[in-house]
Copies of this chain bind each other. A is one copy, B any other.
Amino acid sequence: MNTRTTEEIMHAMGVQARRASARMAIASAKEKALALRFLADLLRQQAPALQVENAKDLERARANGLTEPMVDRLKLTDTILETAAQGCEQLAAMPDIIGDVIGLRQQPSGIRVGQMRVPLGVFGMIYESRPNVTIEAASLAIKSGNACILRGGSEAIDSNKALAALVRQALVHAQLPEDGVQLVPTTDRAAVGALITMPEYVDVIIPRGGRGLIERISAEAKVPVIKHLDGICHTYVDDPSNIEQAVVIADNAKTHKYSPCNATETLLVARGVAEQFLPKIAAIYAAKGVEMRVTDEARAWVSQAPQAHVVSATEADWSTEYLAPIISIKIVAGLDEAIAHINQYGSHHTDAIVTNNHQHAQRFLREVDSASVMVNASTRFADGFEFGLGAEIGISTDKFHARGPVGVEGLTSLKFIVLGEGEIRQ
């Protein structure tokens, strides 16, 4: 019988994580790849057993009255498990960046100074819903040489426990400490409060979930938080630009999926191309049922489309993340006004320009103060996999430490190394 308090449980997990992190940090590339590949095998072999545990979560979710789309998000289907297994194998195949030394250079004193990439130590991850995040987080912890403490949603607790058990089996198989990855076993909310206030055991917290969760954790945490707030993303169609390309990009950026944070919420159009561009994109949005919230000047160009749903934009629209089939549209004088609008109203997440002008492209890249800035591409590309990071533990809308999609590198830091031959300070 377990009579420990939640605080005692979390404290003990912290001690174990800190201890395991020393070994994880010096694990060889070979050991880490072995653990990841073995985990991939386990996810495939144990799929039926995992689905038995998963069924408990699904049953409880239905009993609790969750809607079927919400129940769907909890499902560990064969496809989801196969994708998770492939993710582990992809990470195993990537170069290991831990121990990389950069910039080793001799100084006037004779010492050679460089920087070595090292893990942060221990990260805590707090997430809701989808249990496959357990595998994403655990595999990134292994690859980056960090220990981690995972706190999944209570609605997926049985699935998460089963997945975490496989992860720990894989760690042991590779002779790594099983406490390299720990799952919080209790659904008590006090566990989160403890996890985010143990700077002696946890080096960084990564929350994934709704804005409310992230703001609460940021406000209460005593350790750094890699946080993702709003995604108010813009696509700016410049003058001159390839209008056909602009239409394809503006369509994809808004309608490929409505719920992701990197979907475009505001379309800015240079006055010089509005007449050409707006009727074309408006026809597509209208056909797809996307509501257009527009300035007076834009109204004439978008209203002609059959079945167009056009509304006057208010000031609030420019700083609203719709995550829905709605887009705000504004005509601007040109590049300067576009950059000013984005830096004022955007959320510094992801913004794109469609242009043929080299100087405009360069200025947009330099002057737009966002985590991801794009030329002639859809904002939907802002993603760890698409960026070649191999995996993504989250997206940072902060400027400190990591900006944009966070993969293995975002879970590391650089320490200075000095190679001398007996030098002393004069």
Contact = CB atoms under 8 A, between A and B. Distances in A.
Interface of A: 22, 25-26, 99, 105, 107, 109, 111, 113, 116, 118, 120-121, 203-204, 224, 242, 245, 248-249, 251-253, 256, 343, 352, 365-367, 369-378, 380-382, 386-388, 398-401, 403-405, 413-425
A367 B369 CA distance: 37
Number of copies: 2
A215 to B, nearest CB: 12
Contact of A416 (B204, B248, B404, B423): B404
Contacts of A366: 26, 99, 116
Nearest to A218: B222
A245 B422 contact: yes
Nearest to A120: B399
A417 B373 contact: yes
Residue of A22, A26, A242, A366 ringed by the most chain B CB atoms within 10 A: A366
A286 to B, nearest CB: 19
B415 A403 contact: yes
A370 B251 CA distance: 49
Contact of A417 (B253, B369, B374): B374
A317 B372 CA distance: 49
* Most interface-central of A105, A113, A425 (chain B CB within 10 A): A425
Given A248-B424, A369-B118, A424-B256, A419 B375 contact: yes
Contacts of A105: 388
Given A252-B425, A424-B249, A415 B242 contact: no
B249 A374 contact: no
A418 B377 contact: yes
Nearest to A373: B417
A405 to B, nearest CB: 7
A399 B375 CA distance: 34
Given A245-B422, A375-B417, 8 more contacts: A25-B369, A26-B367, A111-B377, A113-B387, A375-B419, A376-B423, A382-B416, A382-B418
Nearest to A401: B401
Contacts of A22: 343, 367, 369
Contacts of A371: 415-416
B26 A204 contact: no
Contact of A373 (B107, B413, B415): B415
A146 to B, nearest CB: 11
| A113, A204, A224, most chain B CB atoms within 10 A | A113
Contacts of A251: 424
A107 B256 CA distance: 19
Nearest to A363: B26
A227 B304 CA distance: 59
Contact of A388 (B113, B224, B382): B113
Given A203-B400, A369-B25, A416 B405 contact: yes
A109 B118 CA distance: 30
A419 to B, nearest CB: 5
Given A252-B425, A403-B415, A107 B377 contact: no
Contacts of A401: 224, 400-401, 413
A378 B424 contact: yes
B377 A423 contact: yes
Nearest to A98: B366
A413 B400 contact: yes
A406 B224 CA distance: 18
10 contacts: A22-B369, A107-B386, A113-B387, A121-B399, A251-B424, A252-B425, A372-B417, A375-B418, A381-B418, A403-B413
Nearest to A343: B22
B249 A422 contact: yes
Contacts of A398: 224
A365 B381 CA distance: 38
A175 to B, nearest CB: 17
Contacts of A256: 424-425
A22 B348 CA distance: 13
